[in-house]
A and B are shown apart, each in its own frame.
Chain A
Amino acid sequence: MSWAVVARKDFEDAVRSKAFWAVSALFVLFAGAAAYLYTGTDLFGAQELSTLGLVGFLRGASGTLVPVIALLVGYRSIAGERQSGSLKLLLSLPHSRRDVVVGKLLGRTGVVAAAIGVGYLVALGVGVATIGSFAVVDFLTFTGLTVLLGLSFVGIAMGLSSATGSTSIAGALAIGFWLVFQFLWGIITLVLVWASNGFSLQGLSGLPDWATLFNQLAPGSAYTSATGILVDGPTGGGGGVVAPGGGGADVFYTEPWFGIVVLAAWVVVPVALGYLQFRRADL
């Protein structure tokens, strides 16, 4: 269980990072504010308050901030230790490079999960009193999906971090990834649709199927559709510029399970590619 030892050490280390505390505080603030907006104000009329309603609000805050926290926690994971030389201490001990990658992935995801946990507890503290019957299982499922979102972004950041060996390059790539997949993905989808339609949007009655699928490949969209287990439709955040399911709402790639598969792929593929690079590297 070499990776478990690494994971615990890495958790203890990363959880003490000041940058992590700063973004986490922001997240807790957002989660609390989202809960207050939903339960404490009558902005949304007289509709009955429910757990799933709260989840819908938290999803926006989570889809926006959890990726930022996870990228921030992850991008230095391997590259930072390589640059500083602490990786030499780590690898002087009987850990394989795979143990180091897996241990760090789990340790840092634990850190992100801790931030999510605190944020959601605060949201519950604000909102639970006003919600008539609180659905514990639904809320835990939602929390699990948000942790999966965090895991996928830690995986992406770690993949970049193991492949490059430089924190500045890994950091720049992480920002680029965030911009493309969290910010521009919907626009990129639309541009592709526009281009494939003869550089025009005329005559389209909705998104073509391939564009819907393409849009679903961004981790933010995948999170939104995965939470479709609990709540329908996107309520903002997470790159969901294009509403999924425009034409054929019953296709497989708009199903929640497909979102979960996409998130899982965003964990496995970047980490595996980064590891293959890291395994061969001279340190």
Chain B
Amino acid sequence: MPAIQLDSVTKRFGGVTALHDLDLTVRDGEIYGFLGPNGAGKSTTINLLLDFIRPTQGSATVLGMDAQAESRAIRQRIGVLPDGYEVYGRLTGRTHLEFTIDSKGADDDPERLAERVGIADAIDRKAGGYSKGMTQRLVLAMALVGQPELLILDEPSTGLDPNGAREMREIIRAENERGATVFFSSHILEQVEAVCDRVGILRSGELVAEDSIGALRESISSGAQLSVTVSDTERAAEAARGVEGVREVAVDGDAVVVSLDGGGKTAVLGAIEDSGVEVSDFATREASLEELFAAYTEETERVEA
């Protein structure tokens, strides 16, 4: 049973189509990164899963239950860090946590939760005085209440400094090891690359790519570059051009820079060595996730070419 499934979901707000015929499956037990630029429809998708909004067409299930008809039962079993929320400024962190624990009928200890997200010393202060990062930590702690089977996190690293973002990733990993499925959205790529089993890229309400990060990289034409420092650049370049999968070879000082479609780096190195040229050093460079993301979200031609 998939943790999350969307079947041909369309959502229109007035005349604006926020989601267009979206199909999406998040498998049980995986960490799924939901990527896309701001305004792509990530929060709309998450709001549909939580029954904050209703689909114009299509249907969604969470943990096998209908996202609309059985929303309350779903929310009993999941933990949520929503987007664009505000905490109750007049209430303390502890009150927030106790309220969540009571709401779910859970038996967590507020102090331990606060400690886990790093706000233990602020637990008895009013949440209205928290910084953005502390607020985000508090709401993450609320999401962890009751050992949820599924965590839905909308832009979880918002407001966190790099250290906070790292701690967030550690918590995501730990929750996943406990057995929870994690679905989180982001427009920041490093967040996703570091923890996700699979990513889906949303653009203008449509899923334009869905795979593991590695496989997505492979599928991009500007895939990888191999830079080989050699004794004779001309002979090495000629040898490299003969290898299958090589798109372009350029000379840069005492190195040849080989652009590849997909794999084949070992074959290139082998061919250069076979030609009798001495290889003193080599380096590979993966397409950065930033480029990958740009390829999918900005320049469709490059992907389709």
Binding site for B on A (CB under 8 A): 2, 5-6, 8-9, 12-13, 16-17, 84-86, 88-89, 91-96, 282-283
Contact = CB atoms under 8 A, between A and B. Distances in A.
B90 interface: yes
Contacts of A17: 90
Given A16-B91, A94-B75, 7 more contacts: A9-B88, A9-B95, A88-B82, A89-B88, A91-B51, A93-B104, A96-B71
A5 B102 contact: yes
B76 A89 contact: no
Given A92-B75, A92-B80, A283-B53, A86 B103 contact: no
B8 interface: no
B87 A89 contact: yes
Contacts of B86: 84-86, 89
Contacts, number: 72
Nearest to B47: A283
Contact of B75 (A6, A93, A283): A93
Contacts of A94: 72-73, 75-76, 103-104
A89 B103 contact: no
A13 B91 contact: yes
A282 B104 contact: no
Nearest to A14: B90
A6 B50 CA distance: 18
Interface in B72-131: 72-73, 75-76, 80, 82-88, 90-91, 95, 99-100, 102-104
B82 A92 contact: yes
A163 to B, nearest CB: 18
A89 B139 contact: yes
A89 B140 CA distance: 11
User: Which residue, A6, A8, A9, A88, has most C-beta atoms of chain B within 10 A?
Assistant: A88
Given A13-B88, A84-B86, A86-B87, A93 B54 contact: no
Nearest to A93: B103
Contacts of A89: 82, 85-88, 139, 142
Contacts of B71: 96
A86 B82 CA distance: 10
A86 B88 contact: yes
A115 B143 CA distance: 35
Interface string B49-77: 01111100000000000000001110110
A147 B73 CA distance: 35
A120 B72 CA distance: 41
B156 to A, nearest CB: 13
A3 to B, nearest CB: 11
**9 smallest beta-carbon distances between A and B, as pairs:** A92-B80, A94-B76, A16-B90, A93-B103, A282-B53, A84-B86, A88-B82, A283-B52, A85-B85
Nearest to B71: A96
B33 to A, nearest CB: 20
Contacts of A12: 91, 95
A93 B71 CA distance: 10
A91 B95 contact: no
Instruction: Choose among B87, B90, B103 the residue with the greatest number of A CB atoms under 10 Å from its CB.
Output: B103
A88 B84 contact: yes
Nearest to A10: B88
Contacts of B52: 88, 91, 282-283
A85 B89 CA distance: 12
A128 B76 CA distance: 51
A9 B100 CA distance: 10
B139 A96 contact: no
Contact of B103 (A5, A84, A283): A5
